[in-house]
Amino acid sequence: MSETLHICNARIWTGDPGCPWAVSLTVRDGRIAALDEPIAAAGPGRTIDAGGRAVIPGLIDAHTHLILAGRALDRLDLSEITTRRDFEAVIARRHAELPADQWLIAGGWTDGHFPADEKPHVQWLAAAGDRPVVCYSMDLHSVLVNDAVLNRCDLSEDPPGGRIVRDHATGEPTGLLLEAAAWELVNPIVPKPDRQTARTQVLAAQAHAHRLGLTAVGSMEYGADLAEVFEPIRDQLTLRCRISLLDRELPIDFTYGRSFRNDDRLAVIGYKTFVDGAFGSRTARMLDDYADDEGNRGLYVELARDGHLLEWAQVVAAEGFSPTMHAIGDEAIRLVLDVIERIPSEVRPRIEHAQHIQPSDVHRFAGRIASMQPLHKADDGQYAEARLGSRRMAGTFAFRTLLDAGARLAFGSDWPVVSCDPLAGMRTAVTGLTFAGEIFLPEQNLTVEEALTAYTRGSAYALQLDNAGAIRPGALGDVVMLDRDPFTADWAHEPPRVVMTVVGGRVVYDIRDG
């Protein structure tokens, strides 16, 4: 007889509208076997007394980058830096700590933390001398580098879909490279960790995710990384990984995706492309100029720039995969909606981010997947109105508006762009609080149940993980225990914390283990 996990004396929100509440659950053979089953009937195995605590379905992050997230756990974090002086100080400290031949890699800075007239500049990296320095922005769509890196790049002209920022007076590069200029000029020359290190980093990212209550993620990865990093550790994966391959050039070679051995732990479900840039870098493609940057409407990138987005999406859908399209600005979102309306809905095409929508386009989201990240609202909400102007707020982070229009909300994080903490994301979704502690667009707030659904059933649907997202017989045995009831918690001041995370009936995190 197989081992059984029985959780009793709990307040269980099942996420199943037909049977929303229970006091106990039984997991057998990795799946929910029963609700409210007496301990005596559960069979041999482990029994956990929840002590009246809340239990919810395993939380699911619809959008991460696990390879990058694992790497980010080891890099210099600039996310709390708000002044040039502090920026220079942390660069100097890390420079002093590193071996002479090692590159200094950092990330997490954002334009919104600095005065409008003070942009990160190559001069901010002077303390590192001739050591190559690469500092990725929070959104990963721009990068600040020093002369030691610039001297290795071809700076003769902007690559298509990118920009080398230059000093208006001298024409010299400032050290900032946007979009394709970062991807094509800098990324290929940055030293990558060896494969064994990358595997260790992914397992560290997995442990971090479990501590935050995550049992499954959608991850955007290159095929080579999937083959060389994920597949060798398949048996060590306790985090369910639903992969969208970053293959966004025509023609697409589907050989690897077609032949991949899919299971409940690791599966290829789609392909992902970028349509525009990011809001933080002012490269998200907008119908109108940025209010604080006249003449700039952002950029179309890659297939959208070349007019091949529809063809790409149709080819991906014809192979039975989900076309996943990054679109942040209202013009980019409109283009993606045009594309989605011409491909079959059964492949579950996803609009990633959907941050700034023209109100007249909201109705077109009915039945469509809007894969959104509440913590982007917590960050962008600090400067969104200055960037766009007050009249353009109606379609910004429109959680409530989209849900009311019939969209399928799937919540996630874009980790490592922001934290993958789903409870922190819920806090923003239900309160509207930004990282600065101010309330932004409260009219778009969700109820606790709606936010929980977006992090469970909503994300499960987006990731084609149809046997997850709810606690019901036959579903995967993925559950999370919280220290307090999410429906009565004070989300603004004392949101719940994760006590235990269970995947397939196996306890993968227990706060009592330290």
Got the DSSP string for 238-305?
-SEEEEEE---SSSP--HHHHH----SSEEEEEEEEE-B--TTTT-S--SS-BTTBTT----B-HHHH
Question: 2 pLDDT exceeds 80?
Answer: no
Q: Mean pLDDT throughout 431-440?
A: 95
pLDDT band at 124 (very low <50, low <70, confident <90, very high): very high
Reduced to 3 states (helix: H, G, I; strand: E, B; else coil), residue 117 is coil
Q: Quick one: DSSP state of residue 439? A: B
Question: 127 pLDDT exceeds 50?
Answer: yes
Range list of H helices, 412-462: 422-431, 448-454, 457-462
pLDDT at 1: 37
Which tens digit of pLDDT belongs to each residue from 88-110?
999 999 999 999 999 999 988 88
Domains of the chain, start order: 1-57+469-514 (2.30.40.10), 75-189 (3.10.310.70)
Q: Quick one: DSSP state of residue 191? A: P
pLDDT at 103: 94
Q: Residues in the chain, how many? A: 514
Question: 112 pLDDT exceeds 80?
Answer: no
User: Does the global pTM surpass 0.85?
Assistant: yes
Q: Mean pLDDT throughout 209-214?
A: 98
Percentage of the residues of the chain whose pLDDT score is greater than 90: 82
The span from the CA of 415 to the CA of 99, in Å, is 28
Which tens digit of pLDDT belongs to each residue from 139-152?
777 899 999 999 99
Q: Label residue 95 exposed, middle or buried (CB < 10 Å: 0-12, 13-18, 19+).
A: middle
- Tokens 């398949």 label which residue? 234
Question: 182 pLDDT exceeds 70?
Answer: yes
Four-CA torsion 103, 107, 110, 113, nearest 10 degrees: -90
Q: Mean pLDDT throughout 414-425?
A: 94
Helix axes 309-318, 330-340, angle to 10 degrees: 40
Range list of H helices, 307-373: 309-318, 330-340
* Mean pLDDT estimate for the chain: 94
pLDDT at 32: 97
pLDDT at 113: 79
Which tens digit of pLDDT belongs to each residue from 473-493?
999 999 999 999 999 999 999
pLDDT at 218: 98
